[in-house]
Structure 1
């Protein structure tokens, strides 16, 4: 495998992950709006919507970041940032979805770890932009 192939894979996985995360965010949003309305409290719907919103924001940045190597930003640093955003989606949004859908409160401490992953991803993006 050449360096160009490796660089293309870095871009491709972030694009695919962003597209899938965006698709799932739309599906979760529709489910929350139509399927949960009579099943959970108003606060539960707010928490679910927060999970959907953060998932969509980070799905979009995954897609955008996959295109940033065209601007000359370091691919490997972008790939690490994308990894943190993807883990953030799983931990932050995933724990909130499970909290609302199952009432499992022990997942509460996982949510801030996901938020921290989001922050690390954004910090790495800033570093990548400064390294250009």
Structure 2
């Protein structure tokens, strides 16, 4: 499990840097200030939660008796990146405001991921 979240976290951090550069260098002249801000918010949360995936991977070893909670934490953070950041990327590029309906589901996934990590620490301590 820890290897999975290290790979996912690393690849998502790579994509976060690439998306940030894409926004700063290419989208800056193509999007309104409002939509560029939406895109940048997606990148911001993307990066924070990709780092969270690396933390989950590190804690998988530290809390071996909390495997299910660690798994829920990692997969929830991953889902949050896809739903929250992904919907903001799509909304900003396409201008389809209905995509904003998806964003809160990603936010809830982030919250679930962090709570599951806390529970893993409480339940999985050696």
TM-score (norm 1): 0.89
Q: Deviations over 1:72-91 (max 9, x none)?
A: 35222111110000000000
Structure 2 counterparts to residues 32-111 of structure 1, below 5 A? 32-73=23-64, 74-111=66-103
Query: What is the TM-score with the length of structure 2 in the denominator?
Result: 0.93
In structure 2, what is the equivalent of residue 118 of structure 1? 110
Q: Is the 8 A contact 2:46 2:81 kept in 1?
A: yes
Question: Does structure 2 retain, via aligned residues, the 8 Å contact 1:47–1:100?
Answer: yes
CA deviation map 1:21-67 (0-9, x unaligned): 10000000000000011101111111111100100001001011101
Q: Distance in 2 between matches of 1:49 and 1:112?
A: 17
Separation (CA, whole Å) in 2 of partners of 1:110 and 1:69: 29
Q: In the alignment, which residue of structure 1 is the partner of 2:11?
A: 20
For the aligned residues, what is the CA RMSD?
1.0
Unaligned runs of 5+ in 1: 1-9
